[in-house]
């Protein structure tokens, strides 16, 4: 399988690029943010619990998010996918460890971690612009955006080190046209998948 992680701060373009990568490499796209928003829309217990955190720009507790991903590998296989692209997950070291364990149990592993690099000022502007059309309340409020970036810096950024130690981290310039960035991501994946093998 090709299992990719799209890594980067809020507003770095993970969702946009995940859509393109999933189509190109025939991957199952797992966005934990989308899964959580679907739970909220469905009015489930999980959604209700997650909403409070999301509205404040805080990360949802690890056990909630990890619990949603148990069937990912089976789902990818049953749908005839080549692998999985994780978008917005893992966001903490505990999630990264849980993902490694989950993939190992299924005889597979993370192929590479694509880290989109975008500076802070650009991020805020992008998120506010997205907020005009996304219908996401967490995209409209400068204070919530600030909190999300802070959560990223304190809890998520250290996860990059976890993957760097495993030699899996690839940094990609996240400023430019969508197509230029996509080309750089494709090249990175191709260079990794050409010397990668598992079931």
Is residue 14 annotated as a catalytic residue, yes or no? Answer: yes
Restricting to residues 50-79, name those near ligand AMP by CB under 6 A.
53-54, 57-60, 65
Q: Which of 51, 136, 155, 164 is catalytic?
A: 136
The token duo for 102 is: 């989950």
Is residue 148 annotated as a catalytic residue, yes or no? Answer: yes
Is residue 146 annotated as a catalytic residue, yes or no? Answer: no
Backbone angles phi, psi at 84, to 5 degrees: -130, 140
Backbone angles phi, psi at 192, to 5 degrees: -80, -45
Task: Tell me whether residue 32 or residue 108 sits nearer to ligand AMP (CB atom).
Answer: 32
Q: Which of 20, 106, 130, 155 is catalytic?
A: 130
Out of 5, 18, 36, 170, the residue judged to bind ligand AMP by CB under 6 A: 36
Q: Residue 26's Cα: distance from chain center in Å?
A: 17
CB burial string 90-99: b at 16+ within 10 A, e below: bbbebbbebb
Out of 22, 29, 81, 91, the residue judged to bind ligand AMP by CB under 6 A: 91
Task: Tell me whether residue 93 or residue 193 sits nearer to ligand AMP (CB atom).
Answer: 93
Q: Which of 22, 81, 126, 148 is catalytic?
A: 148
Adjacency order of strands within the sheet including 112-117: 27-31, 83-87, 2-7, 112-117, 169-173
Out of 88, 115, 126, 159, the residue judged to bind ligand AMP by CB under 6 A: 88
Which residues have a Cβ under 8 Å from the Cβ of 49 and sit 6 or more positions away?
60, 64
The token duo for 91 is: 């966001």
Burial of 77 (0-12, 13-18, 19+ CB in 10 A): middle
Q: How far is the CB of 37 from ligand AMP (least distance, A)?
A: 7
By CB under 6 A, is residue 148 in contact with ligand AMP? yes
By CB under 6 A, is residue 33 in contact with ligand AMP? yes
By CB under 6 A, is residue 27 in contact with ligand AMP? no
What is the set of active-site residues?
14, 91, 130, 136, 148
Residues at the contact surface with ligand AMP, assessed by CB under 6 A: 10, 32-33, 36, 53-54, 57-60, 65, 88-89, 91, 95, 138, 148
């Amino acid at each position: 399988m090709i299992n990719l992680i799209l890594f980067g701060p809020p507003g770095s373009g993970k969702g946009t690029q995940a859509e393109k990568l999933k189509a190109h490499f025939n991957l199952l796209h797992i966005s934990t943010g989308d899964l959580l928003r679907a739970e909220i829309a469905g009015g489930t217990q999980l959604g209700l619990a997650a909403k409070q955190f999301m509205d404040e720009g805080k990360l949802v507790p690890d056990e909630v998010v990890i619990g949603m991903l148990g069937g990912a590998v089976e789902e990818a296989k049953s749908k005839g996918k080549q692998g999985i692209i994780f978008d917005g997950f893992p966001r903490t070291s505990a999630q990264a460890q849980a993902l490694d364990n989950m993939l190992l149990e299924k005889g597979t592993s993370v192929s590479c971690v694509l880290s989109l690099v975008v500076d802070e000022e650009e991020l805020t502007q992008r998120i506010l612009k997205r907020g005009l059309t996304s219908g996401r309340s967490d995209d409209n409020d400068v204070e919530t955006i600030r909190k999300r970036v802070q959560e990223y810096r304190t809890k998520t950024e250290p996860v990059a080190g976890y993957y760097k130690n495993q030699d899996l981290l690839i940094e990609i310039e996240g400023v430019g046209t969508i197509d230029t960035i996509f080309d750089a991501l494709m090249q990175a994946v191709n260079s990794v998948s050409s010397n990668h093998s598992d079931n």
